[in-house]
Amino acid sequence: MEVTTIILAAGKGTRMKSSLPKVLHKVCGKPMLEHVINAAKGAGSTREVVVIGSGADKVREEISGVEFALQSEQLGTGHAVMMTKDKMANLEGTVMILCGDTPLITSELLQKFIESHEQSKASATVLTAIMPDATGYGRIVRNQSGTVDKIVEHKDATEDELQIHEVNSGMYCFDIKTLFDALDKVTNDNAQGEYYLTDVLGIIRSQGFLINAFVTNGFTQILGINSRYQLATAERILRQRKNLELMDNGVTILDPDSTFIDYDVEIGRDSTILPFTYIENGTTIGENCSIGPNCRLQNTKIGNNVTMQFVYAHDAEVDDEVVIGPYVHLRPGTKINRKVKIGNFVEVKNSNIGEGSKLPHLQYIGDTDMGANVNLGCGTVTCNYDGKKKYRTTIGDNVFVGCNTNLVAPVTVNNGAYIAAGSTITQDVPENSLAVGRARQVNKTAWKDKRQMN
Ligand code: UD1
Ligand code: CA
C-alpha cells in the first residue's frame, strides 16, 4: 500500500533561540529533519511533503528528495497540514504525519505503526508513549472503556489531565479524506490561539469514527526537540545508538562515552576506536585500524590496517597500512598512499604522498606530488606561496632530503636525488645527483682569543 508522509517543519523553533530554523539543527552530524525523512522513507513511505515556513529558503537549500509546501504564517500544526491540501486532493488511503523535530524516530517503529493502523481499520491512529516527564507534550485522554477520546495540549490541560503520562508523539496515520474533512472544522479557540492538529482526533471521534493509539514502550524514539538541552539529549541518545550498532558489527570502542561518531560513518570490523575521537560525516574507515586517542576525522577515507593518534584530518584520503601521528594535520586534497609513515608535528595539504614515503618529524608539505620511498629530513618545508600565488613541488621516487631543507616551488627534485641538510632549493635537481644549496662553512681558528684581545 502506498503511504504519503507529511512532515511539519514550518515552526519558528522559538525555544531554540537560534537564527537557524529548528529542523536544520544537527543531531549526530545531520539536520534533524533529514533523520525524520530517512525514517519515513525507510518505513516504506513513497512520497514526502515537507511543510516549511520559518527559514524556508534555508530548508530548501539543505534538504533534497522531498516536495515542499509553504506555510507562510505559522498558525499551528493543523493549519500546517492544511497547506498540503492541494497536493493531497484526490488521494485515497493512508497519510502519515510526522514532525520535523523528532530525530530519534526509527523506520522500524514507523513501519509497525503504519501496519497497525492499516490492520485496525481505524480512521486515525496516534503514536503515543508513556513519558516519565510529560511536560510540554499533548496528553492522551482516554474514556472509561480505554479508547482515545481526544488530545489535550499541555497549556490547555486541567490539573487532572496534567497527571496523564501517556503523551502524543506528534505522529499520526490518517485516512486522507477523513483528515481533511475534519481539519475544516478545527478552530483556534485555545490557550495558544493556534489551529491544533491534535483537535482533529476529537472531531473524528465525535463523528463516530474509530481512533486508535499505538503505544510504543520506547519513549526515547518520540522525543521532540524544542530546546538546546533537548538537542543535547537527542545527540547523546543517537550517538549511543550509533556506537552500539558499530560494536554489534565488530568494532571495538574503548570508551563509548567519549567517542563521537556521526550517523553515516562506516567502520570495518576489528577496527578499534580510542577515546576522545570525533569521526564526522563522510568518513569511512576500513578493517583492523586503530584510530585515536584524540583524532578528529571529517570526510576522510581511511583504508585497512591504518594506525592514527592525535590526528586532525579533513577531506583527505589515507590508504592501507599507513601510520600517522601524533600531532598531524591532514588538510583538504591530501592523498596518503600505502605504507607511508607520518610522525609528529607534520602538516600536509593538497598533496599526494607516494607509497612507503616517510615524513617523520616537523614537516610542512603543501601542493606537492611526491613519489615512492622518499625520506624527508626533520624540518623539511615546501615554500609553496610567494605572497600572491601558490606553486607545486614535485619530488620523484627514492629521494632523500636532508634536515631543515626549503623547497621553493615551483621546483622538481628528480628520482634518486639527494639534498644536503640545510639547503634552500630553488632550481630543479637532476636524477641521482646531490644538491647543496647553502653557504659553505668557514671556520675562523682561534677567533675567541683574538676577540678577547681587542
Ligand atoms: C506538538 C503537539 C503535541 C505533541 C508534541 C510532540 C500540537 C498542537 N501539539 O506540540 O501534542 O505532544 O508536538 O512533540 O500539534 N509546525 C508547523 N507549523 C506551525 C506550528 C508547528 O509546521 O504553525 C511544526 C513545527 O516546525 C514542528 C512541529 O510542527 O516541527 C511541532 O510543532 P511544535 O511547536 O514543536 O509543537 P509542540 O508544542 O512540541
Ligand atoms: Ca515539538
pLDDT in tens, 402-453: 999 999 999 999 999 999 999 999 999 999 999 999 999 999 999 988 887 6
Q: What is the pLDDT of residue 90?
A: 86
CATH number of 3-222: 3.90.550.10
Kindly report whether the peptide bond that precedes residue 132 is cis, defined as omega within 30 degrees of 0. Answer: no
Ligand nearest to the CA of 156: 1
Q: How far apart are CA 231 and CA 20, in angstroms?
A: 14
For ligand 1, the distance from its centroid to the CA atom of residue 151, given in whole angstroms, is: 13
**How do residues 105-146 score in pLDDT, each as one tens digit?**
999 999 999 999 999 989 999 999 999 999 999 999 999 998
CATH topology of domain 250-435: UDP N-Acetylglucosamine Acyltransferase; domain 1 (2.160.10)
- The answer to whether 10 and 74 are in contact (CB under 8 A) is yes
- The answer to whether 201 and 211 are in contact (CB under 8 A) is yes
For ligand 2, the distance from its centroid to the CA atom of residue 24, given in whole angstroms, is: 14
Ligand nearest to the CA of 171: 1
Q: How far apart are CA 321 and CA 339, in angstroms?
A: 5
CA separation (Å) from 117 to 20, 103, 198, 227?
35, 22, 17, 31
Q: Where in the chain is the domain with CATH 2.160.10.10?
A: 250-435
* Sign of the CA dihedral with 233 first, then 110, 74, and 158 last: negative
**398 φψ region: left (φ > 0), alpha (ψ -120 to 50), beta (else):** left
Q: What is the pLDDT of residue 450?
A: 86
Q: Where in the chain is the domain with CATH 3.90.550.10?
A: 3-222
User: Which atom of ligand 1 lies nearest, measured to the CA of 9?
Assistant: 26
The predicted model gives 316-338 an average pLDDT of 98
Query: What percent of the chain clears pLDDT 70, i.e. is strictly above it?
Result: 99
Strand 316-318, strand 301-302: pairing = parallel
| Mean of all residue pLDDT scores within the chain | 96
Q: What is the pLDDT of residue 218?
A: 85
Residue length of the chain: 454
Q: How far apart are CA 402 and CA 418, in angstroms?
A: 8
Phi and psi, residue 139, nearest 5°: -100, 140
Ligand nearest to the CA of 9: 1
Strand 259-261, strand 166-175: pairing = unpaired
Q: Which residues are catalytic?
A: 361
CA separation (Å) from 393 to 363, 421, 432?
14, 18, 18
Confidence of residue 89 (pLDDT cuts 50, 70, 90): confident
Pocket test for ligand 1, best of 14, 15, 77, 200 (most atoms within 8 A of CB): 77
The grid cell for 176 is 486522507
Which of these, 47, 42, 150, 168, lies nearest to 99 by C-alpha position?
168
Residue 454 has pLDDT above 70, yes or no: no
Ligand 1 first shell, C-beta below 6 A: 8-11, 23, 51, 71, 74-77, 79-80, 99-101, 137-138, 151, 153, 167-170, 196-198, 224, 226
For ligand 1, the distance from its centroid to the CA atom of residue 84, given in whole angstroms, is: 16
**How do residues 306-315 score in pLDDT, each as one tens digit?**
999 999 999 9
User: Which atom of ligand 1 lies nearest, measured to the CA of 137?
Assistant: 12
Residue 317 has pLDDT above 80, yes or no: yes
- pTM score > 0.85 for this model? yes
Residue keyed to cell 644538491: 435
The predicted model gives 332-352 an average pLDDT of 98
Confidence of residue 305 (pLDDT cuts 50, 70, 90): very high
Residue 12 has pLDDT above 90, yes or no: no
Q: What is the pLDDT of residue 452?
A: 75
The predicted model gives 176-204 an average pLDDT of 95
